[in-house]
Structure 1
Amino acid sequence: MIRFDKVVKRFGDLTVLRELDFHVRPGERVTLIGPSGSGKTTILRLLMTLERVTSGTIDVDGQCLSHTKRGDRLVPADERHLRRIRKKIGMVFQQFNLFPNMNVLRNITEAPVRSLGVPREQAEEKAHELLEMVGLADKALEHPSRLSGGQQQRVAIARALAMEPEVLLLDEVTSALDPELVSGVQDLLRDIAHRGDLTLLCVTHEMRFAKDISHRVLMFDQGRIVEDGPPEQIFSEPTHQRTREFLQAVLDA
């Protein structure tokens, strides 16, 4: 479903990703761990086309995301192509990024109506189903300012799912929450992860959460994957010294 082929990403003189190769199979749940600045969130931003690759290619569902073919050569993709591929992908950010001037219902329905052409009545019916699923059935007409942080993040999750993505990206989705709100959002995401065939790519510093939801865990350091394996192996018997150092620091914190 996702394939990075020798992807390099630079910001000026800073190289964030160094000829990165990795893949995520359809329906697979993969979590990226590692120190801040190791390139994890950059991967999600590239998939959302919020950043462009410096070199290399990214495929989503067998189609090149960053480039299109023109004759025998690859050229940077235009905005129309990016929008078409991006419809397959949903993302939940650290910050909730809800529209403050819209109520919860419109926050969830606006993108399906405007981007996918879903009739508003159908979009609202789906939104109410999602609000029921995330435990906010009674908040449809509230504005974000009247919701707690945990409730806003639940709305953000419902908004991402309303687009019926094939791939869901999670970027430190509990890092902005008060500690007592974290477990509720994580429980919701566990339920979502274990139902259906949604492909999931997650960045988190919550190691227990990573262990619970993942088929595979990738340890990143300085723009490279230093270890890749099932969570039981990564968290119990990591083979790379850098992984052991990182986990010791995080788990002892």
Structure 2
Amino acid sequence: MKAASGDLLKPSADEAREHLIHFDRVTKRFGSQTVLDSLDFKVYPRKHVTLIGPSGSGKTTILRLLMTLLKPDEGTITVDGRYLNHETRKGKLVPAGEKHIREVRKNIGMVFQQFNLFPNMTVLRNITEAPVQVLGLSRDEAEERARELLELVGLSDKCDAYPSRLSGGQQQRVAIARALAMRPKVLLLDEVTSALDPELVAGVLDLLRDIARTTDVTMVCVTHEMSFARDVSDCVMMFDGGKVIEYGHPDKIFGDPDQDRTREFLSAVL
């Protein structure tokens, strides 16, 4: 079966024409196992793309590559028109230095399965630390932005609390605010409800729906929450065996998929 590839919901004439993310024949291996196999796709600004598929199909690897937690074995990744892991020197494409990688990575924020908050810092400090240290914002400017974001995520009264005093759902909301504080062009979401108690899942998903609806941030999301994927996505990509086997509008993918493997997967999880 030929893997799907190409542009994910190409923008209309009145939208930005340049893609924001481009995986160009990206391959990633772990030992003898090929996790991503010559992956080729583009994501355009302000689109919300959800990656679905069985465990081990390569979805989270894509997010880890974008965060430069992993490096591709073959191919290139560009973000906002700049190579992520490579740079051009004397007309040749070479592995990028750490300074280049940090600059490009500023455009990307990620919310992990585990909240990864700093336990020794207050909620406010958790959100302001990176904007001050990485973006060079003044402490006052960073705190103003943090308070706005805490109001957005419904935690304006928790500025001085420490993570240990928050519920799992509240900690994940802080993690989302922290990612947004960096003003990323791309927000990566990696199974952000998987560590939450079931009664807390709906609140976090509702928050992400609000962010998708009210901000211009581009989202790339890995989730097993199929109703959320259907509600929030402009495009859904179905992964299997390190390849995109099908992609399209959620109504198409969930309502009338072309591939038998997609139908099998959805029948198991819906």
RMSD of Structure 2 on Structure 1 (CA) = 0.6
Q: Counterpart in 2 of 1:27? A: 46
In 2, Cα distance between the equivalents of 1:196 and 1:137? 19
In 1, Cα distance between the equivalents of 2:60 and 2:90? 33
Q: Counterpart in 2 of 1:131? A: 150
| Sequence identity (%) | 69
Write out aligned runs for 1:131-170 (5 A): 131-170=150-189
What code does the residue aligned with 2:156 have?
Answer: A
More helix by share: 1
In 1, Cα distance between the equivalents of 2:149 and 2:220? 21
What code does the residue aligned with 2:74 have?
Answer: S
Q: Counterpart in 2 of 1:205? A: 224
Q: 4+ runs of 1 displaced by more than 4 Å?
A: none
What per-residue deviation string (whole Å, max 9, x for no partner) do you get for residues 10-69 of structure 1?
Answer: 111111000000110011110000000000000000000000010100010111111111
Runs of 5+ in structure 1 lacking a partner?
none
Note if 1:221 corresponds to 2:261.
no
SS at match of 1:139: coil
Note if 1:241 corresponds to 2:246.
no
Note if 1:117 corresponds to 2:123.
no
Q: Counterpart in 2 of 1:36? A: 55
Write out aligned runs for 1:81-120 (5 A): 81-120=100-139
TM superposition shift of 1:109: 0.2
What per-residue deviation string (whole Å, max 9, x for no partner) do you get for residues 87-106 of structure 1?
Answer: 00000000000000101000
TM superposition shift of 1:139: 0.5
Write out aligned runs for 1:42-81 (5 A): 42-81=61-100
In 1, Cα distance between the equivalents of 2:53 and 2:85? 25
Runs of 5+ in structure 2 lacking a partner?
1-19
In 2, Cα distance between the equivalents of 1:245 and 1:209? 19
Q: Counterpart in 1 of 2:29? A: 10
SS at match of 2:42: strand
What code does the residue aligned with 1:49 have?
Answer: T
Q: With the length of structure 1 as denominator, give the TM-score of the two structures.
A: 0.98
What code does the residue aligned with 1:146 have?
Answer: R
SS at match of 2:157: helix
Q: With the length of structure 2 as denominator, give the TM-score of the two structures.
A: 0.92
TM superposition shift of 1:70: 1.7
